[in-house]
Structure 1
């Protein structure tokens, strides 16, 4: 069972795929406190499941015990493996020390993770007056390299947005080329692919750079990642969830409806029929927004047309910007094989993620967004205080790597570990 370290771990979408594929996490490093609590709760879930006792987890989700009471039932080594710290020159020695203690003298096989994408994304650069030149997040890959030098894993998996390919340093050089050159100096060959999540069981149009490094001089190490041929429609993600209107729903568990399909089971989203879900709560909307939602849903469901903001009646055009972001109101079409990309902006408003059922007339709930990201229904999203936060759940979900994409990468790479191990024995 290969041991891995997750850097810039977020809420654990990437990690969840590796756990599912049979890897063992040594530690997760993440600066966002709410995301770290989510990781602690998820690692607690995995520990309880391995010990065939999920009762405390269900008690916690139902509000029967507090988070502190729940965590008191989990070994400290599990909770302590989540390092809530920003990676910097000042914190590196402390992080290394904690990871060394967690490794207990054993070897680290793999490092996964990708720095925050805002500095590389096209949208982030377009909004920045400096186009993100000089932003410290541009250089977080240098700390990634420090971990490679320290632990020398056999492989690493580096994930990021497509904008990384064109992001430039202040001297005009490309960050991606600088990054690969640095990894080479650390002793790693690298190769990358642009992967589309919808090719790997995710009902969402999401493209990501997946850079894989292998220790030593190699050219044949990038695994073949099989495309999943079976296709489904987005509407299947929502078909068993209870109907709710804007401002309605529950954070605590609610049973799902009877489900006769295949996708939710094959993707790992759902484990059993009528399995309860958390965070199926819709945000409230203004009367004006709901009127726009109805127009958008009718345009799609009746004519397969997307509305532009400029097409709305003038009385509904309250935004000053009437030339840019004309697709700011968009339906998540249930009759298409994939949706638009889920991003962290969903935490600010849901206008770009309108539910296709006009009777419900609302934006997506966090659970529906989580399903688009292929998080399991038993995945719980934490806050800092322990009081559930719909906004923080949206943010963590939008920033995550889709679990099924991660699993496909992890499973293909697992075969590489097995092949390398066999070659060593020969």
Structure 2
């Protein structure tokens, strides 16, 4: 099976999809320390599962053993394959040296990953006083090209937000045009599509640019990724979880009613019949926010309408900006076949991801958001310190590629390999 290198790896949503499809990871490169621990923990799960030792992983989720003790049970080479580096000109030589050692003379088949998207996103540009012009993240694609020049993989898969299609450099030229021209100079034919996750079995309205490059001169090589029709709603992935109020829940294992739906089902996961989840912990909210949340849910349930911030009673309006972002409070509707796009901003507040159950009256937990992103329930999101962190989990989940979408792309690419 093809091997791959994951750059700008994040918490591993894209990588998890490629692993499920049968690809072999050589290394993951990620600058966020917490996400690197998440990647290591997932590699530990995968190795233990493959060697019929998954009980050790469950011991870790139960906190019967420490993170270090978990890592001590797997080969050191796996831990060393997670490279905690910022991809920069200063670090590139050292990164290449470590990847070369991990390859050990084997040819690299594939590179996957997409640079941080904030600099290209429409929302990011709208909120930044300079429209993100000149932001250093705009130019990470140049470093991406250095990996292509160095390793010449047969394919690469580049993921980013649709705002990339309209973001312009200081000279007025589109970054996307510059990017494709550079990739072609590296020897690649380029094809891309806008894919919406909801068309591929994900319960989320999430459109992204998926650009695929193939080394050499080629046309019409973009794989056919079959669309699927969802015959279930968001309610399915919330209904088995314990009902909790704002500020309640736990980071550790919590019993559930046992999820048995097909949305998260994976025949390879042996522990899915263990009716428990982690990170089902709700953030606390102010009394004012809780009052607003009730109005948001009631309006949707009764009239199927989204709340406009200016329609709130004056006593509940504390924001000065009444001209934009008026949909800043939004319920994740349980009766729709998809939710709104999950984004990393959820690490700051949960106003855009209000739980549809009026009685619980809170924003979503990390586990609920992870389910929207199609991460399996036994996927654990780490912090840098080792102490559980809801904020770190939200950030990693929000930045991730939905696992199921990644698996669909990976499987389709394998068919034309």
Indicate the SS of the match to 2:384.
coil
Alignment match, 2:108: 108
Distance change >3 Å, CA 307–CA 267, structure 1 → 2: farther
| Distance in 2 of aligned mates of 1:344 and 1:337 | 22
Structure 1 residues 267 and 183, CA, compared in 2 at 3 Å: closer, same or farther? farther
Q: Show the counterpart of 2:282.
A: 282
> 1:269·1:371 contact (CA, 8 Å) conserved in 2?
no
1:319 to partner: Cα distance: 1.6
Contact 1:201–1:267 under 8 Å retained in 2: no
- Conservation of the 8 A alpha-carbon contact between 1:257 and 1:274: no
Aligned equivalent of 2:240: 240
Shift of 1:24: 0.3
C-alpha distance in 1 between matches for 2:269 and 2:330: 24
- The aligned counterpart of 1:423 is none
Within a 5 Å distance, the mapping from 1:81-100 to structure 2 comes to 81-100=81-100
Farther-moved stretch of structure 1 (21-30 vs 265-274): 265-274
Cα separation, 2, equivalents of 1:260 and 1:59: 23
Tell me which residue corresponds to 1:368. Answer: 368
Following superposition, the deviation at residue 269 of structure 1 comes to 9.2
Contact 1:297/1:356 (8 A) holds in 2:
yes
- Provide the rounded CA distance (Å) in 2 between the counterparts of 1:91 and 1:98: 11
Separation in 1 of the partners of 2:375 and 2:293? 26
Q: Is the 8 A contact 1:268 1:374 kept in 2?
A: no
Give 5+ residue unaligned stretches, structure 1: 418-426
**Cα distance between partner residues in 1 of 2:344 and 2:100:** 33
Alignment partners' CA distance in 1, 2:358 and 2:167? 41
Partner of 2:18: 18
Tell me the distance in 1 between the aligned counterparts of 2:229 and 2:356. Answer: 25
The equivalences for 1:191-340 within 5 A come to 191-259=191-259, 261-265=261-265, 272-273=272-273, 275-340=275-340
Per-residue deviation at 1:29?
Answer: 0.5
Per-residue deviation at 1:397?
0.4
Q: How far apart, in 2, do the equivalents of 1:25 and 1:156 lie?
A: 14
Partner of 2:214, secondary structure, is strand
> Which residue is 2:347 aligned to?
347
Deviation of 1:258 (Å): 3.8
Partner of 1:153: 153
C-alpha contact 1:331 1:355 (8 A) present in aligned 2: yes
> CA deviation digits over 1:321-347, x for unaligned, max 9?
222211111100000111110101101
SS of the residue 2:357 aligns to:
coil
Question: Structure 1 213/399 Cα, relative in aligned 2: closer, same or farther at 3 Å?
Answer: same
- The answer for unaligned runs of 5 or more in structure 2 is none
**How far apart are residue 272 of structure 1 and its match?**
3.3
Inter-partner Cα distance in structure 2 for 1:351 and 1:229: 29
Q: Note if contact 2:278-2:380 (Cα within 8 Å) is conserved in structure 1.
A: yes
Give a deviation string over 1:195-235, Cα, whole Å, max 9, x none: 00001111000000000000000002100000012432111
Q: RMSD in angstroms over aligned alpha carbons? A: 1.4
- Determine helix, strand or coil for the equivalent of 2:276: coil
Distance 2:241 2:268 in 1: 16
1:223-252 deviation per Cα after TM superposition (whole angstroms, max 9, x unaligned): 000001243211111011111111110110
TM superposition shift of 1:261:
3.5
| Preserved CA contact (<8 Å) 2:258 2:275 | no
Are 2:258 and 2:273, in contact at CA under 8 Å, matched by a contact in 1? Answer: yes
Change in 2 beyond 3 A, CA 1:389/1:181: same
Q: What is the match of residue 424 of structure 1? A: none
Aligned residue in 2 for 1:420? none
Residue deviations 1:43-76, cap 9 Å, x none?
1111111111012211111111111111111211
Q: Secondary structure at the match of 2:409?
A: helix
Give deviations 1:135-176, integer Å, cap 9, x for gaps: 111111111111111111100000000010111111111111
**Offset at 1:256?**
1.6
The answer for the alignment partner of 1:405 in structure 2 is 405
Alpha-carbon distance in structure 2 between the residues aligned to 1:266 and 1:73: 25
User: Does structure 2 conserve the Cα–Cα contact (< 8 Å) formed by 1:268 and 1:376?
Assistant: no
Per-residue CA deviation, residues 99-141 of structure 1 (Å, 9 max, x unaligned), is: 0110111111000000000111111112222222221111111
Counterpart-to-counterpart distance in 1, 2:72 and 2:283: 33
- Quote the residue 1:170 is aligned against: 170
Residues 346, 13 of structure 1: alpha-carbon distance in 2 compared, 3 angstrom cutoff: same
